[in-house]
Amino acid sequence: MRYRVLGGTGIEVSVHCLGTMMFGAVGNPDHDDCVRIVHAALDQGINFVDTADMYSAGESEAIVGRALRGRRDEVVLATKVHFPMGKGPNRGGNSRRWIVREVEESLRRLDTDWIDLYQVHRPDHTTDVEETLGVLSDLVRAGKIRAFGCSTFPAEEIVESHHVAERRALGRFRTEQPPYSILARGIESAVLPVCQRYGMGVLVWSPLASGFLSGRYRPGRAVDLTAGRAALTPARFDPAIAGNAAKYAAVEELLALADEVGCTLPELAVAFTVAHPAVTSAIIGPRTMEQLEGLLKGAALTLNDAVLDRIDEIVPPGVNLYQPDGVWAPPVLTDPARRRRPLPDRAAA
């Protein structure tokens, strides 16, 4: 396993990062099996593990904490904060009040004294970014976290955060964790260039496009919309929906390309993401040992220019054939009142 420096932190991380979203009730409820997966990944040279407080309502963090007992110093440990962790107000978001409380809960579940990379899971339009950067800077000074980053932020929010950090003499986001795959290349237009400009590390999630690039979903083949990823978002996988035709067509071409290269489609998909000069690591999120072993087999795969050119022909640079799940949408798009003048003021005369 190769290692790259994570942004300007000086921390070296493996090019494959073990994602643990599928550990716990949402994916694999067998804690012993999940621990074995973590140990197998570490034994293969992975030293970067990513989780989040909200994965299976904290269960994933607890599993990771158990798996790292006796091996904590080997690992660059990342987790995230933002999504609600219970009912009622002030139980989520990016406020000082919530982050100060929730970091302690993550430390407890992870059974560790420090977190190497603490990430804000999504933007929060109700909290000034200065408030968020301020509390994260304080946590670094307190020794509870070593560095902090953001996840799934649009380019303009990343730029604003750096300007605020400079003006207010605060720590800055050292990393960004965006969705990126052959089918979702939108971040190539602005997010990745901005990260390069500010020297940020980038760890990308969903390189298999929510399972679409696993090779399981093919045109003309029945799709079980009641199980796995398809059960969570059936509209993304249903071949009867016209909007999915381009994804299925692309997958067929990519499968043929993988055959020419002599690899599997998942191996091709992950290798594509880490070939981009802005990307530090790709998060692989296996649910089973078999999935982990399959992904690790492709770790040494190098895609030459001819193969990358073919991928560009199938899905052009900067194009999203689908919108990844969980991408934050700004209120100016989700709240109609922000896009519409009061009725009496809408006419030109």
Query: Looking at residue 55, what DSSP letter applies?
Result: G
- What six digits make up the tokens of 247? 């994804």
Strand pairing class (145-151; 48-50): unpaired
Residue entry with tokens 């070296």 = 12
244 contacts 237 by C-beta, under 8 angstroms: yes
Sequence-ordered strand ranges (E) for the chain: 3-5, 12-14, 16-19, 48-50, 76-81, 115-120, 145-151, 175-177, 201-204, 281-284
Can you give the pLDDT at residue 255? 96
Q: Is the per-residue pLDDT at 63 higher than 80?
A: yes
Q: How confident is residue 114, by pLDDT bands cut at 50, 70 and 90?
A: very high
DSSP bridge partners of 151: 177
Question: Mean of the per-residue pLDDT values for the chain?
Answer: 94
- pTM listed for this prediction: 0.93
Q: Which of 86-90, 279-283, 338-342 has the highest mean pLDDT?
A: 279-283
Over residues 31-49, the mean pLDDT reads 98
End-to-end CA distance of the chain: 66
- What digits encode the pLDDT tens for the residues 257-297? 999 999 999 999 999 999 999 999 999 999 999 999 999 99
**Of all residues in the chain, what percent carry a pLDDT higher than 90?**
83
- What digits encode the pLDDT tens for the residues 205-256? 999 998 889 988 887 777 776 766 666 677 777 777 777 888 999 999 999 9
Distance CA 336, CA 200 (A): 34
Q: How confident is residue 71, by pLDDT bands cut at 50, 70 and 90?
A: very high
Out of 3, 55, 198, 248, pick the active-site residue.
55
Could you give phi then psi for residue 269, rounded to 5 degrees?
-65, -45
Sequence-distant (≥ 6) Cβ neighbours of residue 219 within 8 angstroms:
239, 248, 249, 252
Distance CA 29, CA 47 (A): 23
- What digits encode the pLDDT tens for the residues 123-139? 999 999 999 999 999 99
Sequence-ordered strand ranges (E) for 121-215: 145-151, 175-177, 201-204
Query: Quick check: is 55 catalytic?
Result: yes
Over residues 288-310, the mean pLDDT reads 95
- What six digits make up the tokens of 308? 């990358």
254 contacts 285 by C-beta, under 8 angstroms: no
